[in-house]
Chain A
Amino acid sequence: MSKETFSQISPSEFFYRNRDLAGFSNPTRSLYTSVREFVENALDACDQKKILPDIHMSIKAVDPEQSDPKHYVLTVKDNGPGIEPKHVPHAFGTVLYGSKFGLKQARGMFGLGATMAILYGQITTNKPVTVKSCADEKTIDEFVMLLDIQKNKPVILKHNTKEASKTGLSVSIVLEGDYSKAGSKIRDYVSQTSLITPYASMTFEDPSGEKFHYPRIVKEMPPPPTIIKPHPHGVDVETIRRMIVDTHYQIPAVDNKMIDKAKKELGLQKKTLTTKDILERAQKRWTDLSRPVRTILAVMSFLNVDFDGLQKIRIDDIDVANKKITYWDFGESQSHAVELDSESPYYKQLANTIQGDTLLTFLTKRFQRVGPTTAEKFCEFAKLKPERRIGSMTNEELVRLADALQKFDDFLAPDPSCLAPLGEEPLSKGIMKFFNPEFASVMQRSASAYSGFPFVVELGIAYGGDIPTAGLKVYRFANRIPLLYDEGSDVVLKIVNEMDWSRYKVKGDPPLVIVSHICSTRIPYKTVGKENVADRPELERELKNALQYLARKLAVHMSRKGAADMEKKRANLYAKYVPLISQFATELSGKKKEPNYKQLIKIGSEIEEQV
């Protein structure tokens, strides 16, 4: 029998093995994904600090003579807040290091992509990443690093510091790519990003040296999203379990700092008292003590040790249900278990701490838009006691809780303050600048939610002008990212195609553009590729309402245009035919001079209704 070996792999190694999932399946897609990741990180960083983004990116072939796929240098530079030098190696040299773990709308999630791009570059070319960062407007730090894939650690090859005056970040990697194939998508990506980010200025220099510049169209930034608590509909059992662990009052680590804190609260800085004296003193001041200190004192009472003794042990588990404390004695190098006396006044304190909040408190404190009344109603609905301590709930009860959270209908709709739609005015300006249409209209729907995730739909419509008469085209965006692939199966396209456009006076292959922007804390993507949005009924309804509203506006425009066109057509017809009639009548009647028919052309073109 062969022996299986189990070994732990680092996150970097895991991503290295599964790079297809993250969009690094081939040189074409990898180049495109790398551009996206860096640009989106740069925009997110600027958004967070309310800096009007100024993004420069370039792709240069290492050896232009070679044929694709070949090595390219990809550089993306922003004017964002930069990253403090001490965080740079970890931010770019470790997988799963990031600040995007809160619940709010952002372009990328978790910041995995940028590291993946660096990882991909390193794998394909064995070249390091160069990061230049200035976070304090004084100095700029340059790091040249490699990733140690097995250890998930950065290896700094070079680090220097220079003077600087502006904050910003520049990342440069060498990677294998295929620009001849990825080029059109990358150019589309940059141009469409400029449409949905009209407050950004973007420049892209392609391998041939051609520059694409998209100037800033609006100077105001849309309000940034805030980090919020989850909505009850948006959590599953696993999330609840994790939330409960957070809620558990952590058993404080007993270190010097904590002991100093306890002594200070008890007014014992200078004195050394016995355990008994300490506890007596504590009794008098109990209500003034902080919770960690109370917990430590409770533990002291059960173990009957003083501060010195407490420092020699490590508390491993407090099992309230079985009334046991398990601890590790460093001196003896062995584990001990002590019975808890449920009669002791400290027992309740410890039990409450360990068992966490009551269900009622948990609901109101940890979820958005849940008040005591709703919480109580919910408890009744879930058949759980409101005063039940969540730390003591059994597995079955947790499942019941999670289930009930999904099914209870009386929760308020999710709080949309975590969303950052672009806003009607910037979107409208972006569309006008981008398409230069003869007609455009935009609409932002008020926030809605699917499965507890809030979302906002913004829709724009543009007709005529510089738009080619080549049929309807849909520009899709989600959380300010252009979606370029898998258009066919997208919910927006479905809604657009279901419309009876002839009812809105749109015929044939109209010069018509629709811009859709879906903002959500979680976009319901259909696939891992994150390029097409699934057809959730709530989402469909919002899109449909917005589209119909805009289409009606377009129809009004079309009829006005139709009337003007008709007048023009009339004028043309009369200008063409009346002189002919005059010519024929003159010869037919045997006259020499033509009649004065000019007035008739004028009258003819002004007739409004047909006879």
Chain B
Amino acid sequence: MKNKSSQRTAEAKKEKLLSLLQKHGLNIYDNLDQGKFPQFVIPSRSVNNIVYDKKLRQYILGNANAVRSSRNMSQLRSYTQLAWLAFFVNRLIREGKSSTLRDIYYSSQAFSIDFEDQPESDNIIVDLEAVTLSPREEFHIFPEERSSVFGDLTIEYTVPGYEGKRMNLSDHPDGYLIGPSLSSAELVDTSAELVIAIEKGGLFTRFVEEKVHKKFKSIIVDTAGQAPRSTRNLLRRLNQEMGLPVVILADGDVYGEHIAMVIKSGSANAAHLRELTVPDAKWLGVWATDIEKYKLPTIPMTESDIKRIYDLQKDPRYQEGNWKKQLEVFLKLKRKAELEAFSKYGLTNITDKYLPAKLEESKSF
């Protein structure tokens, strides 16, 4: 099931970003040449400017903008940092090199751009994301956290030295890290009909062992807790480019429910970014109602668990349907169940019984 129109998507994205960066460069250049103070217009990321867009089914930034001007002495330093980052990212992309958030913090020192600490440089990275409306992964800047993928999916690398090389992601049973090379690879071909995102590495291994990828013709993705952006982007591409439905399995608690929600409709932190959401993704479980239905062993919620429920109840996305209902049941139960709880009924209970039942049930969502 290959979507022809989406071929060479990664390459196209790269070209688009590079030309955007160059446009910014030219703008700064011309300003300097004319004796004008260059400035960046950055969409404001303040709480007041983050709104939920029902049509896009994700959080987006409003119309408020902040201007960072080199004319303002107190902004001159951070303006220069932002200009440097654009310059540095341009080099990274052109040279096909990747780096981490920490790398950026240290790289700055070679150019007499001193960040006081890593949070300061991380912030500038988010600024550039907002200016270019692109996630940092496209800048070849990756966080340390990694999640993995396994299943019949053929990819074609675009990273230097591997250009054109293809690879099937079912050859290694531990799965493949969703790192820079995989994130920038073209998705070529797959026989799978489903993507199962699962919160925990332990269950991911169980699913591979139990051949869930074969039994359910699926690609299995370990989100390793809250899914990193590169993982969310991969899920989106699998959904959009390869036309695969995405289902999510997470712990039976308020955090698990929210992991599913973030994959589906993004987070407020990334409101300036698009293409990180899978609006049609389905949350399979574990629901609060499943806890009673499947008689799962539970542990009591902590105070912070309960506070989190109250917080999410204010979120516009939890105002209706199953999302709203499950929160209410969690609040009523004041108990939670992990994915491993199914092991009470045998290690394969989750793959043999629960998963098929929920997949069946999900068809009616």
Q: Which residues of A contact B (CB under 8 A)?
A: 569-570, 573-574, 576-578, 580-591, 595-597, 599-600, 603-604, 607, 610-611
Whether A589 lies near B112 (C-beta < 8 A) is no
Whether A578 lies near B32 (C-beta < 8 A) is yes
Least CB distance from B124 to A in Å reads: 13
Confirm or deny: B76 has a beta carbon within 8 angstroms of a beta carbon on chain A. Answer: yes
Known: A580-B113, A581-B83, A582-B32. A611 touches B72 (CB 8 A): yes
Least CB distance from A144 to B in Å reads: 75
Task: Report chain A residues within 8 Å CB of B76.
Answer: 573-574, 577, 604
Task: Report chain A residues within 8 Å CB of B29.
Answer: 582, 585-586, 588-589, 591, 595
Whether B73 lies near A588 (C-beta < 8 A) is no
Per the bound structure, the CA–CA distance linking A164 and B61 in Å amounts to 99
A-B contact pairs, 15 of them (CB 8 A): A576-B112, A577-B76, A578-B32, A580-B112, A584-B84, A585-B28, A588-B26, A588-B86, A589-B22, A600-B35, A600-B37, A603-B35, A604-B71, A604-B76, A610-B73
Whether B28 lies near A589 (C-beta < 8 A) is yes
Per the bound structure, the CA–CA distance linking A604 and B91 in Å amounts to 29
Other than the known A576-B112, A584-B83, A588-B29, what 17 A-B pairs have Cβ atoms closer than 8 Å? Answer: A577-B76, A577-B80, A581-B79, A584-B84, A584-B87, A585-B38, A585-B87, A587-B90, A588-B21, A589-B28, A590-B22, A597-B33, A600-B36, A604-B37, A604-B71, A610-B72, A610-B74
Per the bound structure, the CA–CA distance linking A318 and B111 in Å amounts to 106
Least CB distance from A114 to B in Å reads: 64
Whether B33 lies near A588 (C-beta < 8 A) is no
Whether A585 lies near B77 (C-beta < 8 A) is no
* B25, B30, B32: residue with the most chain A Cβ atoms closer than 10 Å: B32
Whether A580 lies near B80 (C-beta < 8 A) is yes
Whether B80 lies near A581 (C-beta < 8 A) is yes
Task: Report chain B residues within 8 Å CB of A589.
Answer: 22, 25-26, 28-29
Confirm or deny: B240 has a beta carbon within 8 angstroms of a beta carbon on chain A. Answer: no
Task: Report chain A residues within 8 Å CB of B30.
Answer: 595
Report B309-335 residues with CB < 8 Å from chain A CB: none
Task: Report chain A residues within 8 Å CB of B35.
Answer: 596, 599-600, 603
Per the bound structure, the CA–CA distance linking A577 and B35 in Å amounts to 15
Whether A607 lies near B71 (C-beta < 8 A) is yes
Least CB distance from A240 to B in Å reads: 72
Report B64-86 residues with CB < 8 Å from chain A CB: 69-74, 76-77, 79-80, 83-84, 86
Task: Report chain A residues within 8 Å CB of B71.
Answer: 604, 607, 611
| Interface size counted on chain B using CB atoms at 8 A | 33
**Binary contact track B318-354/A, C-beta < 8 Å → 1, others 0:** 0000000000000000000000000000000000000
Task: Report chain A residues within 8 Å CB of B26.
Answer: 585, 588-589
Task: Report chain A residues within 8 Å CB of B83.
Answer: 580-581, 584-585, 588
**Binary contact track B99-130/A, C-beta < 8 Å → 1, others 0:** 00000000000011100000000000000000
Confirm or deny: B24 has a beta carbon within 8 angstroms of a beta carbon on chain A. Answer: yes
**Binary contact track B4-47/A, C-beta < 8 Å → 1, others 0:** 00000000000000000110111011101101111000000000
Least CB distance from A194 to B in Å reads: 46
Task: Report chain A residues within 8 Å CB of B73.
Answer: 569-570, 573, 604, 607, 610
* A576, A588, A591: residue with the most chain B Cβ atoms closer than 10 Å: A588
Least CB distance from B5 to A in Å reads: 31
Per the bound structure, the CA–CA distance linking A600 and B35 in Å amounts to 5
Whether A584 lies near B32 (C-beta < 8 A) is no
B39 and chain A: residue at smallest CB distance: A611
Task: Report chain B residues within 8 Å CB of A586.
Answer: 25, 29
Whether A587 lies near B33 (C-beta < 8 A) is no
Per the bound structure, the CA–CA distance linking A241 and B22 in Å amounts to 102
Per the bound structure, the CA–CA distance linking A588 and B29 in Å amounts to 9
Whether B21 lies near A581 (C-beta < 8 A) is no
Instruction: For B38, give its contact among A569, A576, A581 (CB under 8 Å).
Output: A581
B69 and chain A: residue at smallest CB distance: A611
Instruction: For A577, give its contact among B36, B69, B70 (CB under 8 Å).
Output: B70
Task: Report chain B residues within 8 Å CB of A583.
Answer: 87
A596 and chain B: residue at smallest CB distance: B33
Least CB distance from B90 to A in Å reads: 5
Per the bound structure, the CA–CA distance linking A611 and B112 in Å amounts to 25
Whether A588 lies near B90 (C-beta < 8 A) is yes
Instruction: For B25, give its contact among A587, A596, A607, A610 (CB under 8 Å).
Output: A587
Least CB distance from B128 to A in Å reads: 12
Least CB distance from A352 to B in Å reads: 88
Per the bound structure, the CA–CA distance linking A588 and B83 in Å amounts to 9
Whether B112 lies near A584 (C-beta < 8 A) is no
Per the bound structure, the CA–CA distance linking A595 and B37 in Å amounts to 13
Instruction: For A588, give its contact among B25, B69, B111, B112 (CB under 8 Å).
Output: B25
Whether A581 lies near B22 (C-beta < 8 A) is no
Known: A574-B76, A580-B111, A610-B72. A595 touches B32 (CB 8 A): yes
Instruction: For A581, give its contact among B28, B72, B74 (CB under 8 Å).
Output: B28
B90 and chain A: residue at smallest CB distance: A588
A574 and chain B: residue at smallest CB distance: B76
Task: Report chain B residues within 8 Å CB of A574.
Answer: 76
Whether B25 lies near A597 (C-beta < 8 A) is no
Whether A585 lies near B111 (C-beta < 8 A) is no
Per the bound structure, the CA–CA distance linking A597 and B35 in Å amounts to 7
Least CB distance from A288 to B in Å reads: 94
Per the bound structure, the CA–CA distance linking A604 and B71 in Å amounts to 7
A600 and chain B: residue at smallest CB distance: B35
Least CB distance from A92 to B in Å reads: 71
Per the bound structure, the CA–CA distance linking A607 and B72 in Å amounts to 9
Task: Report chain A residues within 8 Å CB of B80.
Answer: 577, 580-581, 584
Per the bound structure, the CA–CA distance linking A573 and B80 in Å amounts to 11
* B29, B36, B90: residue with the most chain A Cβ atoms closer than 10 Å: B29
Instruction: For B77, give its contact among A577, A591, A610 (CB under 8 Å).
Output: A577
Whether B86 lies near A584 (C-beta < 8 A) is yes
Least CB distance from B289 to A in Å reads: 54
B28 and chain A: residue at smallest CB distance: A585
Task: Report chain B residues within 8 Å CB of A597.
Answer: 32-33
Per the bound structure, the CA–CA distance linking A544 and B197 in Å amounts to 76
Task: Report chain B residues within 8 Å CB of A600.
Answer: 32, 35-37
